[in-house]
Structure 1
């Protein structure tokens, strides 16, 4: 059965007015993916490359993206096109690129609450996944997580403890998705169809 995912409220879908985004013409420009299998098919080769760069299990990268976006159903959008932000990376004052404003759920004072936040926007799926890698490697607070990259659970727990997400069950939710029948079945079909090339 598909693991339970947190409710993701609809984005307000507003882009900063002074930096209109342009997007690559790829299948991932679609508003949502039709199924978890389609989402895994598109993101898997990028996750493989990112995993090699971070020395982590690629299943964890796909699972984290699935948790953050509901298997691609709730990627922040800009004018009907994907922002390609699959990892919930926010755009603070240091971010020089495009961003999307949307409502999100944060866990504070022992409860979830809806808040407005800015999230980074990218021009392609590859750019979004690559920035996730750069984000982890450039932040000193994630050093311990990367040092534990060889152990799935320790990596995720260190990521959570470093403040990647406010959800106290963030690491456990990613682990459940990584081990889920939904992800395993999607990867099995990819292998059967020979659809596991590295992303260009």
Structure 2
């Protein structure tokens, strides 16, 4: 973690709330999230495009926590469009989007996957978010701002920081960019042997180091089952 990168979780893991909060939709985040970046969740940027699927619904607003049924309806077409372009199973993409964004509540700038930006990127393509990182050392200072560092029971450290994240012109671009990251990164090559088996695909992505949380695969797979129960097909 000496330099920011564009990969979502190649050597770290970040969340804004608990996994329970991500898994259990509630009205708590019907609006902006206080303390998220400079304040409430920013308005989405340039939402003018619709997914490649001609039957897709209009581009939805972000910054709202959706119920699973709504999440499938609103964002499922983008996951399917990404699958057609990148080969990443749509169910995996949609579940990761739900987990990483808190069912859409934390998707400012259409960034559903916590994809990082560089400080040197153009101002209109990056945004500063408050987030959490789990790292192995207490002395890392490569973030724009380190708010706190706390020792964990497992010997690692929880950082509360502000860092740069990507801004996307539309949800479709965010979903395809996520798929492209997995497709072009060699560490995830084995996962693509399981394109017809989304659950095994997700297990291989986690094994390859997508997140440092040892329960990440189980969390995402749990959301995958919930999405299937909520109308994904």
Q: Which runs of 5+ in 1 are unaligned?
A: 15-20, 78-82, 192-200
Show the counterpart of 2:27: none
Q: Distance in 2 between matches of 1:6 and 1:31?
A: 14
Once the 2 structures are TM-superposed, how far is the Cα of residue 64 of structure 1 from its aligned partner? Answer: 0.8
Structure ranking higher in helix proportion: 1
Show the counterpart of 1:87: 113
Q: Which runs of 5+ in 2 are unaligned?
A: 1-18, 24-32, 49-57, 137-153
Show the counterpart of 1:113: 159
User: Aligned pairs, how many?
Assistant: 173
Match of 2:209 among 145, 163, 167: 163
Show the counterpart of 1:172: 218
Match of 2:37 among 3, 8, 12: 12
User: Is the deviation greater in 127-136 or in 150-159?
Assistant: 150-159
Match of 1:135 among 181, 189, 201: 181
Alignment of 1:68-79 (within 5 A): 68-75=100-107, 77=108
Once the 2 structures are TM-superposed, how far is the Cα of residue 89 of structure 1 from its aligned partner? Answer: 1.3
CA contact (8 A) 1:122 1:128 kept: yes
Q: Distance in 2 between matches of 1:44 and 1:69?
A: 14
Query: Could you give the per-residue CA deviations for residues 14-43 of structure 1, whole angstroms, max 9, x where no partner exists?
Result: 8xxxxxx95124652343144333222111
Match of 2:197 among 151, 163, 177: 151
Change beyond 3 A, Cα 1:159–1:93: farther
For the residue of structure 2 that corresponds to 1:179, the secondary structure is helix
Q: Give the alignment's TM-score, normalised by structure 1.
A: 0.71
Q: Give the alignment's TM-score, normalised by structure 2.
A: 0.62
For the residue of structure 1 that corresponds to 2:129, the secondary structure is strand
